[in-house]
């Protein structure tokens, strides 16, 4: 117990120590229906074909009755849909990525260099969701590879995980720019707007449904509002688990989501790292993760 407390204190120190390095990283981020591939919809088809009905039955007299075969015992546990196997998940995510790479549903499709579908372990327990690609991500076609990504890597390591063990994606799949006429400019990033988020929503929802992680960690207000509640601030959404509800995809099993600060915000406000670490520890506790050890 004392050892584990010491270990976590050590992790936390290392996470905070990253601050000095991070201060050198000048992240100048101003705060500013397409058809999905058949495999991406596979688990929905599985559900329809599973032959297991959890819906209440309508009796002949048209009153709604719920059929509990053993009325005096416990009601049956909710039926969990079987999750897809690794091969099917990989195929579905790859097919979805191909759709995303050619998407022109919103104007960002015309100005991006590369779409950034997301990447990681298809069987991850933890999925991180950011707001949208920045300068570096646009060039590499990979999520969180710039300065904010370097801090995200440290956060992942501090949790006792690695980038290979988690899945990382964004709400918007293409780089939102303040000045789309000058994509070569640094400091040209902005948050995706409501129209861009609406166009992209299906993609992140399908990715979450396919990976079906145990926990989603929404990084920053844009992701938290898009996935949890548009009506609340990041401050109101942080510090608790929420059950994730998707609009366009069905989850094979319940997924919990928490919100924390975006790594770019932590680079600007290192004093928030303590709170972010508390958020991450909520997920670590649930998964029995002890954090990074020397």
Of 125 and 131, CB closest to ligand URA: 131
CB of 193 to ligand URA, least distance (A): 14
Reading the block at residue 179, the tokens are 């000045």
The rounded distance, in Å, linking the Cα atoms of 201 and 215 is 18
Select from 144, 215, 261, 277 the one that contacts ligand URA (CB under 6 A): 144
Of 12 and 128, CB closest to ligand URA: 128
- Given a contact cutoff of 8 angstroms between Cβ atoms, the answer to whether 224 and 249 are in contact is no
Of 122 and 264, CB closest to ligand URA: 264
CB of 199 to ligand URA, least distance (A): 17
Reading the block at residue 193, the tokens are 């707007």
Rule CB under 6 A: say whether 188 interacts with ligand URA. no
Kindly identify the residues of this chain, within the stretch 122-141, that bind ligand URA according to CB under 6 A. Answer: 130-134, 137
Reading the block at residue 40, the tokens are 């991406």
Rule CB under 6 A: say whether 148 interacts with ligand URA. yes
DSSP state of 271: G
Rule CB under 6 A: say whether 291 interacts with ligand URA. no
Q: How many CA atoms lie within 13 A of 82 on its CB side?
A: 12
Of 36 and 264, CB closest to ligand URA: 264
Give the count of beta carbons closer than 10 Å to the beta carbon of residue 167.
Answer: 25
- Given a contact cutoff of 8 angstroms between Cβ atoms, the answer to whether 171 and 129 are in contact is yes
Residue 170 backbone class (left: φ over 0; alpha: ψ -120 to 50; beta: rest)? beta
Task: Measure Cα distances from 87 to 83, 121, 122, 162, 261 in Å.
Answer: 12, 12, 9, 21, 33
Check the CA dihedral 98-100-101-103 and report its sign.
positive
Kindly identify the residues of this chain, within the stretch 51-80, that bind ligand URA according to CB under 6 A. Answer: none
Of 91 and 190, CB closest to ligand URA: 190
By beta-carbon distance, which residue lies closest to ligand URA?
Answer: 130
Of 215 and 261, CB closest to ligand URA: 261
CB of 76 to ligand URA, least distance (A): 41
Interface residues with ligand URA (CB under 6 A)? 130-134, 137, 143-144, 146, 148-149, 170, 264
């Amino acid at each position: 117990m004392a050892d584990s407390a010491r270990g976590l204190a050590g992790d936390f120190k290392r996470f905070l120590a990253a601050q000095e390095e991070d201060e050198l990283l000048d992240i100048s981020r101003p705060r500013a229906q397409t058809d999905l591939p058949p495999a991406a919809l596979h688990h929905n088809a599985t559900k329809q074909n599973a032959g297991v009905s959890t819906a209440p039955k309508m009796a002949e007299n048209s009153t709604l009755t719920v059929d509990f075969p053993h009325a005096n015992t416990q009601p049956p546990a909710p039926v969990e849909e079987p999750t897809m196997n690794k091969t099917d998940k990989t195929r579905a995510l790859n097919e979805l990525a191909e759709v995303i790479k050619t998407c022109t549903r919103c104007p960002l499709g015309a100005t991006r260099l590369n779409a950034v579908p997301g990447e990681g372990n298809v069987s991850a327990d933890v999925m991180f969701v950011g707001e949208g690609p920045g300068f570096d991500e646009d060039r590499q076609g990979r999520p969180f590879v710039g300065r904010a990504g370097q801090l995200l890597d440290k956060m992942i390591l501090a949790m006792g995980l690695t980038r290979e063990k988690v899945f990382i994606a964004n709400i918007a799949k293409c780089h939102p720019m303040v000045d789309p006429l000058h994509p070569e400019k640094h400091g040209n990033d902005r948050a995706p707007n409501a129209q861009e988020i609406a166009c992209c929503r299906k993609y992140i929802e399908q990715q979450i449904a396919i990976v079906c992680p145990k926990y989603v960690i929404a990084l920053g207000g844009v992701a938290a509002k898009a996935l949890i509640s548009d009506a609340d601030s990041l401050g109101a959404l942080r510090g608790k688990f929420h059950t994730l509800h998707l609009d366009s995809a069905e989850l094979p099993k319940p997924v919990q989501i928490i919100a924390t600060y975006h790594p770019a915000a932590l680079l600007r406000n290192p004093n928030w790292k303590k709170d972010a670490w508390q958020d991450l520890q909520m997920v670590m506790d649930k998964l029995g993760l002890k954090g990074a050890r020397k």
